[in-house]
Homo-oligomer: A and B are copies of this chain.
Amino acid sequence: MLLIMPAKNQVNVPLCSECKGHKDNHLFCNLSKGELDTFSEDRADNSYKKGQVIFYEGNRGHGLFCIYEGKVKIHKLGDEGKDQIVRFAKKGDVLGYRSLLGNEPYNATATAIEDSIICYVPKSKFMDVLDNNNDLAFRTIQLLTNDLRESEKKIINITQKPVIERIAEAILILKEKFGLKPDAKTLDVILTRREIADLAGVTTETAIRTLSDLNKKGVLHLNGKQIELVDIPQLIRLANVVD
């Protein structure tokens, strides 16, 4: 039994109002400098090593997590050790808002999949701003509708698609979320085969075999944990994405 303790070393993170993380249609993109400064006032900036848990399913949260640097998986543990990855989060993404807003325990566990720096903003600070900012409420609704759409799509995929299509789709989900390295081919994220299996909802062995299949077919090129997308159109055809 390996005991992982969260590393609570303070690190150097700019003020929320100076942070480059929230641009485009980020949850916080329309907040005023003043509102963002409120967040910084009582903020804790923690660093997490790969494998460390940010929060556990079933526990209650009292604040919001915002990823300054790094990558995180959101996953639910079933009975008998099976794990299902629900979604990923990366730099700029906000975690834990759902449990905060619904005032309910975390519905899933968040674990760093690489060394990460994650800011924690206490509930009260966020709620104060939310109460007086309709745009923030709208953007929250937007985030939730996105998550819900993806979640419902996943249900269809898992019930109605054979393994090769689910693995293909898993690879495309990773491409969508984390993008490709400068070579424009290799996925910019490192996962174990087990994690890919947990994302696609299959066993590790099946994921390994299927990836190896896609490698033989020339759709992917596997280089250890590096996954190169050789034939993206074919990958899309295989994933047979409905929407």
Interface of A is mostly: helix
Q: Does A140 sit at the interface, judged by CB under 8 A?
A: yes
Distance between A133 CB and nearest chain B CB, rounded to angstroms = 9
Distance between A60 CB and nearest chain B CB, rounded to angstroms = 14
Residues from chain B with Cβ under 8 Å of A152 in the complex? 76, 86, 107-108, 151
Residues from chain B with Cβ under 8 Å of A147 in the complex? 148
Q: How far is the CA of A201 from the CA of B232 in the complex (A)?
A: 30
The answer to whether A155 and B156 touch across the interface, beta carbons within 8 angstroms, is: no
Please state the number of chain copies in the assembly: 2
Q: Does A242 sit at the interface, judged by CB under 8 A?
A: yes
Would A155 and B84 be within 8 Å (CB), given that A137-B137, A144-B141, A240-B79 are in contact? yes
Would A141 and B101 be within 8 Å (CB), given that A151-B155, A156-B78 are in contact? yes
Q: Across the two chains, which residue of chain B brings its CB closest to A149? A: B107
The answer to whether B82 and A155 touch across the interface, beta carbons within 8 angstroms, is: no
Distance between A156 CB and nearest chain B CB, rounded to angstroms = 5
Q: Which of A125-169 contact B (CB under 8 A)?
A: 131, 134, 137-138, 140-142, 144-149, 151-152, 154-156, 158-160
Residues from chain B with Cβ under 8 Å of A201 in the complex? 155, 159
Distance between A64 CB and nearest chain B CB, rounded to angstroms = 14
Residues from chain B with Cβ under 8 Å of A156 in the complex? 76, 78, 84
Q: Across the two chains, which residue of chain B brings its CB closest to A141? A: B101
How would residues 90 to 117 of chain A score, 1 for a CB under 8 Å from any chain B CB and 0 otherwise? 0000000010011010011000000000
Name 13 interchain pairs, CB-CB below 8 A, sorted by A: A76-B156, A79-B160, A82-B159, A84-B155, A84-B159, A102-B146, A102-B149, A131-B134, A137-B138, A140-B141, A144-B148, A147-B148, A159-B201
Show the binding face of A for B, using Cβ within 8 Å. Answer: 76, 78-79, 82, 84, 86, 98, 101-102, 104, 107-108, 131, 134, 137-138, 140-142, 144-149, 151-152, 154-156, 158-160, 201, 240, 242
Closest 4 CB pairs of A and B: A102-B145, A78-B160, A144-B144, A159-B201
Other than the given A86-B152, A107-B148, 7 more pairs (CB < 8 A) read A79-B240, A101-B138, A104-B145, A134-B134, A137-B141, A148-B148, A151-B152
